[in-house]
Structure 1
Amino acid sequence: MATLAEVRRLYAQLMAAASGSTDPRLERIFELVPREAFLPAGPWHIRHNGRNVETPGADPAFLYQNTMVVLDAEKGINNGEPFLHAAWIGKAAPRAGDTVTHIGVGTGYYTAILAMLVLPKGRVHGFELEKHLAAKARLNLEPFENAGVIAADAVSRKLPRSDLIYVNAGVVAPPVQWLAALKPGGRMVFPWRPAEKIGFAVLVTNTAAGFSCEPFMPSWFIPCVGASTVGDNDRRPSPSQARRTRSIHVTAECPPDDTATAIFGDVWFSSVALPAAGR
């Protein structure tokens, strides 16, 4: 029988492979941060294909696989699939010293991973709308001195200036204040849900020419309260238009044109890629 240490080591190797990252810290951090410390006491309910399956017992080894673990069954909130988060983190490439804003922290597991990746001198500001989950996250993150969580709505408030905004709830479009919070060169990863049957993880980068946008993998999250409603005058994309999206614009600064793939109030999406730096 494998020991828990061996199981966690294999899990970390798989996370590094899923990330596509060459950052050697990522594998070690996934090995060091215990997933069970951020979850309720076992046995746990694993969410798969619309069903909850209870683990046979409270052995933490059950957690080191690519599974969602239920945090709040009534509201559909889970600790998400590790392979997905590893891919997102690899794409967003958190760096030492970065300021990260994590929206939808749940009970803090991926917040802790991000906090480790931005050491030394980096910091993670966490937002969790559900007060009972925010309270658990604060407790769970006490050993991580560079991470904090507040129970607040991240949609309606001004965010800290950030090198990375990591969003774990589906939005039809990122609020303007999220874009404004990105530092030059800052990145934002979010689940784009512009229509019921369309779901992509999107990487936004604040470049000198504007906000580039790269849909890079399928992704489905529960809706983000306050940022998941489509207005009467909004325009949803087709699946092919969503895949072809390459930039995001603030409507007040640049009205939509015939390159628009989707329009949602203050923000619109375009099929035109921004010019590369130096061109």
Structure 2
Amino acid sequence: MTRRASIDAIRAFHARMMAAASGSADERLERIFALVPREAFVGPGPWQIMAGRGYIETPSADPAFLYQNVLVALDAAKGINNGEPYLHAALIGAAAPQPGETVVHVGAGTGYYTAILSMLVLRGGDVLAFEIEPTLAARARNNLDPFEGVTLVAGDATALPLPASDVIYVNAGVTAPPTAWLAALRPGGRLVFPWQANERTGLALSLTRSGAGFAAKPLLAARFIPCRGAADVGSCLRPPVPPRRGRCGPHG
């Protein structure tokens, strides 16, 4: 009988698939996906994996089950999951975080994709991650403690001030991006978010700020749970909140 590959080999092959799925020429993506273990962010197994309209449980706590293109439940009762790796690889590839940049991550969950973003902006960059669910935010803060330049905020990214940003990466469904997010983008800054016009339609978009305004680019079909404060047009039209000094600085 052929022996099963080691978890390191499984993770390495998964990372190679993520690099291919990203559509990016950034050679760092494969290395970073190989370095960040998904099992460290989704809690102890066995895990609830989305299949069809519900969840099924993995046969064991073998992390090999996580290195597929699957949603893994973080809070099954609320329908909150660690998202599909192929989708996130493609969206992160489109956002193209670079060393030294400032990234805002809206909807961090327990921090898996936040960790990947943080490694892409090394050295000198920082990530401000928002998670509105208190239990998930506490888990994310603990999970992200070893990662350099990450600040986790347990709160509403549509109501709290944002720093001047090179990338705003949103993991919750948005009807229209809040004006505060657009105002926070630096020239050349990228806002990548799932636009959801209704309950059935979702399309990931990239908005890039230029001197003349914003250039929009459709990416791929994407569905996320609604973003509180950005899932109806009225809430999205609130004026930007001026940033308060010291609010968003990274920790070590």
Instruction: Normalising by structure 2, report the TM-score.
Output: 0.91
Percent identity of paired positions between Structure 1 and Structure 2: 60
> Which residue of 1 is the match for residue 92 of structure 2?
89
> Which residue of 2 is the match for residue 206 of structure 1?
209
Describe the superposition over 1:5-52 as per-residue Cα deviations: whole angstroms up to 9, x where unpaired: 110111000000000111110000000100001111000000122110
> Which residue of 2 is the match for residue 259 of structure 1?
none
SS at match of 1:27: helix
**Structure 2 gap ranges (5+):** 240-252
1:192 paired residue among 168, 192, 195: 195
The 1:230/1:161 distance shift into structure 2, 3 A limit, reads closer
Describe the superposition over 1:221-262 as per-residue Cα deviations: whole angstroms up to 9, x where unpaired: 00011111256xxxxxxxxxxxxxxxxxxxxxxxxxxxxxxx
> Which residue of 2 is the match for residue 32 of structure 1?
35
Instruction: For residue 265 of structure 1, report the CA deviation from its aligned partner.
Output: 5.2
Describe the superposition over 1:153-212 as per-residue Cα deviations: whole angstroms up to 9, x where unpaired: 011122111000000000100000000000110001001011223210000000111011
**Structure 1 gap ranges (5+):** 232-263, 268-279
- Could you tell me which amino acid in structure 2 is paired with residue 144 of structure 1? F
Instruction: Normalising by structure 1, report the TM-score.
Output: 0.82
Describe the superposition over 1:109-141 as per-residue Cα deviations: whole angstroms up to 9, x where unpaired: 000000000000000000000011000000000
Matched, 1:45 2:37: no
Matched, 1:155 2:158: yes
> Which residue of 2 is the match for residue 142 of structure 1?
145
> Which residue of 2 is the match for residue 117 of structure 1?
120
Instruction: For residue 73 of structure 1, report the CA deviation from its aligned partner.
Output: 1.0
> Which residue of 2 is the match for residue 224 of structure 1?
227
> For residues 121 and 230 of structure 1, what CA distance do their matches in structure 2 show?
36
Describe the superposition over 1:56-100 as per-residue Cα deviations: whole angstroms up to 9, x where unpaired: 000111111101100011111100000000000111111001100
Question: Cα RMSD over matched residues?
Answer: 1.5
Matched, 1:128 2:131: yes
SS at match of 2:129: strand
- Could you tell me which amino acid in structure 2 is paired with residue 10 of structure 1? F
> For residues 48 and 96 of structure 1, what CA distance do their matches in structure 2 show?
37
> For residues 166 and 197 of structure 1, what CA distance do their matches in structure 2 show?
22
Between 1 and 2, higher relative CO (CA 8 Å, sep ≥ 6) is seen in: 2
> For residues 175 and 48 of structure 1, what CA distance do their matches in structure 2 show?
33
> For residues 173 and 180 of structure 1, what CA distance do their matches in structure 2 show?
14
SS at match of 2:226: coil
